[in-house]
Amino acid sequence: MLTKRIIPCLDIKDGRTVKGVNFVSLRDAGDPVELAQRYAEEGADELVFLDISASEEKRKTLAKLVRDVARAIDIPFTVGGGISAVDDVGMLLANGADKVSINSSAVRRPELISELAKRFGTQCIVVAIDAKYLNNEWIVHLVGGKVPTQRRLFEWATEAVHRGAGELLFTSMDHDGTKQGFANEALNKLSQTVSVPIIASGGAGEMSHFLDTFVLGNAAAALAASVFHFKEIEIPELKTYLRQHKISVR
């Protein structure tokens, strides 16, 4: 079994880490630089930084904050939010990001994925997909989950990978912040549909949920926020638990 990754996520709004439920009802979760440093020290495999209001507010991701976080950690670091052009990615990589995550801009102009993959390599490009289960199918949403589209999850995932996405970050809006577990059925289907690693997001509430998404969802990585921010789950204990259940982790 390939080594599974544990990835804390910093959702950033107004320079602070926030967390909500079903993409709304945000509450403050702390200073992003301090949290990032703590996660690196505790053994997180990677870190994801999402400027969640950048697309809605039509502005660029916070370059200085990205730089400050990058200086505080020594693990791979993915940044997303407000990325709409090749130059945006160059700026973020120059400020310390290892990978970038694109979402709304990729759906609106899928050619962006190809442009970024050609310029920076597929290993650098994560396509994030926020989807909600409506009328028996997964519908892709944009702008922090506020705008539904005509896109269907599995069709869009296939196109994104074909265009050059090196990883997919799938967040179930129905599961986000509920702490009831990940959308493992959809995750498993995604992993069978495309050839790139799938990062599970949305729904972590207890250690067994991570085990389930690795076994039942066949996810390559599991991303979570509030359970780590508020120390409901400690990363070292989580990794010990997963090893005890025969999951290969670093």
45 is catalytic: no
- Rounded Cα–Cα distance for residues 33 and 15 (Å): 10
Taking CA atoms, 94 is separated from 38, 72, 83, 89, in Å, by 23, 15, 14, 8
Determine which one of 11, 45, 88, 176 is catalytic: 11
The torsion region of residue 246 among left (phi > 0), alpha (psi -120 to 50) and beta comes to: left
**Could you tell me if 82 and 62 are in contact, meaning their C-beta atoms sit under 8 angstroms apart?**
no
Query: DSSP letters of 122-136?
Result: GGGEEEEEEEEEETT
- Rounded Cα–Cα distance for residues 114 and 163 (Å): 5
Taking CA atoms, 239 is separated from 25, 179, 184, 235, in Å, by 30, 18, 20, 6
First to last CA, the chain: 12
For residue 182, give the 3-state DSSP assignment: coil
Determine which one of 45, 51, 88, 130 is catalytic: 130
- Count of residues for the chain? 250
Amino acid symbol at 39: Y
14 is catalytic: no
> Which amino acids are annotated catalytic?
11, 130
